Structure 1
Amino acid sequence: MPNTNPSRRTFVKTLAAGAGALALAPSLEACRTLGAGGASKTGWDLVPDILARIKPPTFPARMFDVTQYGAKGDGATDCTAAFRAAIDACNGAGGGRVMVPAGRFLTGPIHLKSNVDLHVTKDATVLFTTDTKAYLPQVLTRFESTELMGYSPFIYALDQQNIAVTGEGTLDGQAGEENWWRWKGGANRSGQSQVPARNRLVEMAERGVPVAQRVFGEGDYLRPNFIQPYRCRNVLIEGVTIVRSPMWEINPTLCTNVTVRGVKIASHGPNNDGCDPDSCRDVLIENCEFDTGDDCIAIKSGRNADGRRLHVPTEYVIVRGCRMKDGHGGVTIGSEISGHVRYVFAEKCTMDSPNLDRALRFKNNAMRGGILEHIYMRDVTVGQVADAVLSVDLYYEEGQNGPYEPVVRDVEMRNVTSRKSKYGLYMRAYPRSEIADVRILDCHFDGVEKGNVTDGVRGLALQNVTMNGRPITA
């Protein structure tokens, strides 16, 4: 098949029909910001323009206390209806803040509406019920970046704008081996496993079955994500602590103008990614702490046929000032990446844990395809990682067994230091794939056990790079 690059042509993509549906603007390749003298900006020079577009929503000074709508912070009373009533009242009044005061509030799914800030105060905990039936009826969502009608995410919004989850309180999913997490693997003693339904969903997507007919619920064991704004504009997630999630914690999908700031995530369940922007544009993730059971940040754009069908990349993502503890990767691109990703900037982060596998990680294969380009990392301090500082794995899962060519190009790592790792660089391409134009500048990797692996990489440049105190060249 031709290896065309969609980032080279202009398109406006309407994501869905209906009120509030989001239209993406043309790609940056088609409408690049012009600097002085008409010269196109590239690399880090683009960041100020991206930040100028990312503006957190603001809300009217109206307060709606959930206890005034029947909520009780005793950890036992079902507050689902009270949350719904407070959100409806806030939205109906033109917007404001739905406040959760001190206490422990048990609830089912919370569905946000436009102009509503769900504010969880410092001594408040929102407990999400483990009764799986509470997350029905099904909503339009994604499971591992494939669209379906499935369990509602714990905090969800569809086709809304100006929404937020803020405060210093805690969101507790109450997930554990006795409920949501047990669904991850193969057959277990209870007979509860996501594997058959997951395979069926992937097969339906490959056949092009309409999303409305991909209905999964009780007995299918497809875990919901924690926070998922879907086709929303102007989103803020700030300050809260998230624990015990069934699956991905923060998963904005098909959104524009997203800010995730000052969030603390401590959840070690299966597939417990920290923050996964999926087919999103203009995203800022800053000053967050990630201690996760999977990737800390994983940037995605749809899986396989579904990613190609919607054809919406994730682009213009800025990660800065974050702290990564445990996880599979600090900043990861993939693996559900068939809609492409471009212009990701990560800076001034710290990463350090024997249980953190990689600092910058790319995951792709010939079943996913996708072009991953213009990815930049600078001023990152790595104490130790278990595997590699930079990992590009195009053999991930299905490997080269597929018709689509994974492409990774224009990757720059500058002023990144590490004290301990198995590899410095670990990059593998196969003949039909592409890893090209990788630049490692002013980087110093110490405590490296096995050196570098750079199979099939074209255009690798190393400048002022040392490994275990000795200069290295490509």
Structure 2
Amino acid sequence: MTYEGQQGIGRRSFLKGAVQAGVAASLGARVLPLAAEKPAKPAAPPSLQLNVRDFGATGDGSTLETASLQQALDRCNVLGGGEVLIPAGRYLTGGLSLRSRVTLRLDKDATLLGSPDLAHYPVAQVRWEGKWIPGYTALLHALDARNIAIVGEGKIEGNEAVAGRPTKDNPLRRPALLEFINCDGVHLEGISTSYAHMWSIHPTCCDNLVFRNLTIRSTKTNGDGIDIDSCRHVLIDSCDIASGDDCISLKSGRGEEAYTMNRPTEDVRITNCTLEGRGFACLGIGTESSAGIRNVIIEHCHITSVYKYAIYIKSRIGRGAFIENLTVRDMDAARMRMGFLRIDQTNAGIQDADPVPGLEGLPLFRNFRFENIRVQDAPVLVEAINTDSGKMLDGLVLQGISGTCAKGISIANARNVAIKNVSVTGYTGPLLSLANVTGHGLEGATQIPAPAKHPLVEVPPSPYKLR
């Protein structure tokens, strides 16, 4: 059964239960004597604030504090929830498990320091490049938790010694910094993070996320800032991110595994963020997108510099699913090494061992809108030629784009394209180059050869099944 199907059954069951409860209450009211006392309301859970120093933590920067910190988190959870305070100090720790109804508050002068020893991080099923594999859990991780938060003005520093990519000698995925799996209600606000060679914040299969006023530094290779992975209802607000890979990446898994699980990333708003991408793109949308990405708004953001593209929308044949309903508005972008916008439907990322076969494996791209964009010295304004006529890019609006660029706009295999009020200077060659494109505002475009047709993935002898 698909994820959407499960959700539909849950809603119907909830409504049925509510109706039954209402009927029962009504019938019960007729038989209770008028003088009967109302049942007492259950007491509200206590509002706790626990200090990790009371559980033995020292904050001296050299004592391993994992047991003391975890005891405070666990105690707060079993007593009904509340707040765990990390006061000023430097706290060396291995992997910590966050619990439901618990807020972790970091004092302004408090720092959590990740241990350099991989043995201090538990091993579980984690997602790596779109696949579920065994791996080390994050420095701060949560599984199946509800209503959790990390707030304050303190810092969380990962240890570069445990970061990096899996190796032949150690194929386990390395620890992320903050990771939430199958959680509902996650709030991060005010904190600063630093890490290298691995992702900083990675929610997976989560709902209702708020990331606000974060300062994220992860400026070496493989160092994504925030990876939204098969999540719904996400707000990223007023964050300052400098990364060694993508600053913010939206994804939903890779290949038949993710396609079958059907957990899209959807309903995402990214606003008022400052982004610096030192390794790849500032906003990477796709590559791992086999469950789909949809309903995304990116607004009022400032891209200070980027190694490759300010925005890269990407997938490949064999991913399947869709990227749709994306709006980018009111953006400033400067110091781009390769370009402002690249759209690649057919050939981004490595092929999965179990790709989605046939026409289903050709991703659907539709309804992209870019308006009120200001670029400074973009090598390329828009490149959207890695597309396929089998599923044409359907709906691309470029409106109110100004600034300077070295090369203009090239689009292939697209319909319902609308270009209006594009007033850039400094480019050589044609402003607009098209191949197999229809729409409005295309007058005077230079026609270019259509890209070659891409072969689809062959259907395997046996149908795929989760394993």
TM-score class, shorter-chain normalisation, is 0.7 to 0.9
Name stretches of at least 5 consecutive residues in structure 2 with no aligned partner: 13-44, 433-440, 443-467
Q: Is 2:53 the counterpart of 1:67?
A: yes
Distance 1:142 1:235 in 2: 18
Matches within 5 A, 1:378-457: 378-394=329-345, 395-398=347-350, 403=357, 404-427=361-384, 428-446=386-404, 448-457=405-414
What code does the residue aligned with 2:264 have?
P
Does the 8 Å CA contact 2:136/2:172 hold for their aligned counterparts?
Answer: no
Distance 1:180 1:424 in 2: 39
Give the structure 2 partner of residue 42 of structure 1: none
In structure 1, which of residues 90, 111, 115 is the aligned counterpart of residue 101 of structure 2? Answer: 115
Q: Is 2:209 the counterpart of 1:258?
A: yes
TM-superposition CA deviations, 1:236-282 (whole Å, max 9, x none): 01111110245111111111110000111111232211111111110
Q: Is 2:111 the counterpart of 1:125?
A: yes
Query: Alignment identity in percent?
Result: 31
Distance 1:130 1:439 in 2: 48
Find the residue that maps to 2:120 and give its secondary structure: helix
Give the structure 2 partner of residue 172 of structure 1: 157
Alignment CA distance shift 1:469-1:423 (3 Å): closer
Does the 8 Å CA contact 1:291/1:325 hold for their aligned counterparts?
Answer: yes
Structure 1 residue 165 displacement after superposition? 1.0
Alignment CA distance shift 1:399-1:246 (3 Å): closer
Give the structure 2 partner of residue 13 of structure 1: 6
Distance 2:76 2:9 in 1: 26
Alignment CA distance shift 1:68-1:399 (3 Å): closer
Distance 1:329 1:250 in 2: 16
What code does the residue aligned with 1:76 have?
S
Q: Is 2:72 the counterpart of 1:86?
A: yes
Task: Return the structure number with greater relative CO, CA threshold 8 A, min gap 6.
Answer: 1
Matches within 5 A, 1:45-444: 61-136=47-122, 138-175=123-160, 179-181=161-163, 183-184=164-165, 194=166, 196=168, 219-327=170-278, 328-353=280-305, 355-394=306-345, 395-398=347-350, 403=357, 404-427=361-384, 428-444=386-402
Aligned length: 391
Q: RMSD value over aligned CA atoms? A: 2.6
Structure 1 residue 303 displacement after superposition? 1.3
Structure 1 residue 195 displacement after superposition? 5.2
Does the 8 Å CA contact 2:177/2:195 hold for their aligned counterparts?
Answer: no
Name stretches of at least 5 consecutive residues in structure 1 with no aligned partner: 1-8, 15-21, 27-58, 185-193, 197-217
**Greater CA radius of gyration, 1 or 2?**
2
Structure 1 residue 102 displacement after superposition? 0.8
TM-superposition CA deviations, 1:403-437 (whole Å, max 9, x none): 31022110000101101111000112134453221
Structure 1 residue 25 displacement after superposition? 7.0
**TM-score w.r.t. length of structure 2:** 0.79
Does the 8 Å CA contact 1:226/1:246 hold for their aligned counterparts?
Answer: no
Alignment CA distance shift 1:266-1:10 (3 Å): closer
Structure 1 residue 93 displacement after superposition? 1.5
TM-superposition CA deviations, 1:54-89 (whole Å, max 9, x none): xxxxx9742111111111111110100011100011
Distance 2:299 2:126 in 1: 31
Distance 1:307 1:116 in 2: 31
TM-superposition CA deviations, 1:26-65 (whole Å, max 9, x none): 9xxxxxxxxxxxxxxxxxxxxxxxxxxxxxxxx9742111
TM-superposition CA deviations, 1:220-239 (whole Å, max 9, x none): 24212211111111110111
Does the 8 Å CA contact 2:3/2:261 hold for their aligned counterparts?
Answer: no
What code does the residue aligned with 1:13 have?
Q
Distance 1:223 1:383 in 2: 33
Alignment CA distance shift 1:72-1:434 (3 Å): farther
Distance 2:180 2:252 in 1: 15
Q: Which moved more, 1:143-152 or 1:282-291?
A: 143-152
Distance 1:322 1:131 in 2: 34
Does the 8 Å CA contact 1:323/1:350 hold for their aligned counterparts?
Answer: yes
Alignment CA distance shift 1:398-1:109 (3 Å): closer
**TM-score w.r.t. length of structure 1:** 0.77
Does the 8 Å CA contact 1:223/1:246 hold for their aligned counterparts?
Answer: no
Does the 8 Å CA contact 1:226/1:245 hold for their aligned counterparts?
Answer: no
What code does the residue aligned with 1:157 have?
A
TM-superposition CA deviations, 1:158-181 (whole Å, max 9, x none): 111000111111110021xxx345
Does the 8 Å CA contact 1:372/1:408 hold for their aligned counterparts?
Answer: yes
What code does the residue aligned with 1:144 have?
E
Structure 1 residue 402 displacement after superposition? 7.0
Task: Specify which structure has the higher proportion of strand.
Answer: 2
What code does the residue aligned with 1:85 have?
Q
